[in-house]
Structure 1
């Protein structure tokens, strides 16, 4: 049995996102291909250093950010998003533990230490890009770097001392990309590099199997309202403010709707602005914000199964794993025509697209959905596609083959 390490910046069940979701399910899928994995991360957002779930070992290591001065509040912001930590205990563990392959799901110093450890042990390493690292919008990048303003960094010195400054992309034995655009960019830049475009998968049975929990009762939402669901981190990039304005407009037109927004906030200020906007438009009683649900929380599945429409209003999106979850639950999807969503959602076939950050376009898509039979048609097509094309069994099989090819090539 092959032994791999799956390394990422953080892995917290209470701060669950697309990367964690994809990785967790892939690890279980790889087992059926005789590949065993440990999940390794820092203790960011999850102070428990060792735990085992479902037979999967999860090890977390102490870390720090090499910036001074850095407040606890800023450290917490970096933990949530964009942090570039140093973890010497993690590096030493990679150096001293026998693995057949290292697979890193983060960039920056984490990827640098994986590269260095793999070179020392003469084993292959794979780099995954889940969130558009190479094509992050400038506005989003500036927001991620906000906590580091007016600080002094000794990070480059540390990288030089430990040999982490080399290019972790060009030295990688293989690259895995969730988004098609990013894969094309990398193929053009490194034409001889082995690159696998592997979309996120979904645990179809988990979201398709009915649960007993009633999400309307759980969050005190009137049963007679049309429930609009958005599952995503609360963030300017995800653009939940558009949904608040959407609810306001529909309410003014006499429609009885309610928005349920589920996801951990990336920044406290955006959550505050979102809440204030709902109050300003007098729809705060029609907008329920749930700041994140644990990965095993049945209310998350119930939210998909009890809602009427799923709406993804992102300004930018590498893929959109939550769309697959909505499809699996039989929920029709309206998605912003950006990034990977444009490839995932085929307008009029498995969902409806609308122009990004355009309230009128979203309203048109919503009204189109009410045409006779269209809602059921879209949901049925999408559910079938989620089951047959995006199951974790399919994705894990392709990843396992990629691993073995990387090991064989390195040995050769």
Structure 2
């Protein structure tokens, strides 16, 4: 079986998703049978686990998102001819649109994973309605649509996409975290970590506003940078905040090992992979009550929930944190991760989707 992954971006959750999936596929199907198509400007962000697997990586130019879509389409048709895949697995909205519209150019089985529906993005009612119409129209082209949370499944069903065309495969990561030493972070204050893109969707600006006035209580580190949006961070930053820029997987893990709590203040989210990465390390999470994030913490049972974009509520949650409670919540969160969100379960389910087998209900987290 030959597999081609098509990505509009490799930064963030999609890259982490593929870092778990690709090495497994190389082992199962052979190094010559797994390929990846990504923007040339994102090569530096490809996870070392993918690079070390030795798979073929093709690239396309992506100077801007819209013009990049046309360049992706042209390059995709070229790669189809050379690779001749049996499976094309498209990741996220633009790559998904390109692959689905070009359905007639290949006999491969087409798999699409939105990694967060476009119609969940904050915007005008007209914009969201247009996104719904587009997703509904494109849904007829793939052989199967992988949804990564029950929230995504529900949204798809509301669009009228038949249940038989949907496969619920929640994200998963390796049960064992990278073996790295905790980052140096000596501070008596509560150590708060944000790790992700500095884009509007991710709500890092909400966190920044929420920590104002808490300099004596919190030490905050921001890992990441802009990927899609620009000028998201309000200035000046509170004194308690330090920006670290992009870090590789080991660097992020080292910061997580040293923090007291991870905050995921997203405005919308299909899943929220960074939350389970923290839970794997027994680190508690504070997440927005949106999309798959609220499922991960089971509506507050395994982590703290706050209303999206509610600066005052997040401020109050941060203000009242204490290290003893955080440690207790972290232990509870680890149990949630270990029972539900491991990569072994995820890759097994994706293998079944590729093969056209239905997923047993007992095998769905």
TM-score normalised according to structure 2 size: 0.82
**Which residue of 2 is the match for residue 42 of structure 1?**
39
Partner Cα distance (1:376, 1:42) in 2: 40
| Rg larger for | 1
Task: After TM superposition, give the deviation of residue 363 of structure 1 in Å.
Answer: 3.8
**Greater Cα offset, 259-268 or 170-179:** 259-268
Q: Does 1:196 align with 2:157?
A: no
Partner Cα distance (1:140, 1:305) in 2: 41
Say whether the 8 Å CA contact 2:101–2:141 is kept in structure 1: no
Q: Does 1:3 align with 2:10?
A: no
Q: Does 1:212 align with 2:181?
A: yes
Task: After TM superposition, give the deviation of residue 103 of structure 1 in Å.
Answer: 0.9
In structure 1, runs of 5+ residues without a counterpart are 65-74, 143-165, 217-221, 408-412
Alignment RMSD: 3.2
Say whether the 8 Å CA contact 1:30–1:397 is kept in structure 2: no
1:183 aligned to which of 153, 168, 193: 153
Q: Does 1:93 align with 2:79?
A: yes
Say whether the 8 Å CA contact 1:243–1:259 is kept in structure 2: no
Q: Does 1:239 align with 2:203?
A: yes
Taking a change above 3 Å as real, the CA distance of residues 42 and 91 of structure 1, as seen in their structure-2 partners, is farther
Pairing of 1:262-341 with structure 2 (within 5 A): 262-266=223-227, 267-271=229-233, 274=234, 276-278=235-237, 283-284=238-239, 286-295=240-249, 298-341=250-293
Task: After TM superposition, give the deviation of residue 130 of structure 1 in Å.
Answer: 0.4
**Which residue of 1 is the match for residue 15 of structure 2?**
20
Say whether the 8 Å CA contact 1:43–1:62 is kept in structure 2: yes
Partner Cα distance (1:305, 1:258) in 2: 15
Say whether the 8 Å CA contact 1:7–1:106 is kept in structure 2: no
TM-score normalised according to structure 1 size: 0.74
Question: How many pairs were matched up?
Answer: 343
Q: Does 1:132 align with 2:117?
A: yes
1:42-101, Cα deviation, whole Å (9 max, x unpaired): 32433899x97222414233346xxxxxxxxxx35x39xx95332323312213423221
Secondary structure of the structure 2 residue equivalent to 1:230: strand
Partner Cα distance (1:300, 1:318) in 2: 21
Task: After TM superposition, give the deviation of residue 230 of structure 1 in Å.
Answer: 0.8
Partner Cα distance (1:191, 1:48) in 2: 36
Runs of 4+ in 1 over 6 A off after TM superposition: 139-142
Task: After TM superposition, give the deviation of residue 239 of structure 1 in Å.
Answer: 2.1
Partner Cα distance (2:56, 2:16) in 1: 14
Pairing of 1:145-184 with structure 2 (within 5 A): 168-184=138-154
Partner Cα distance (1:343, 1:26) in 2: 22
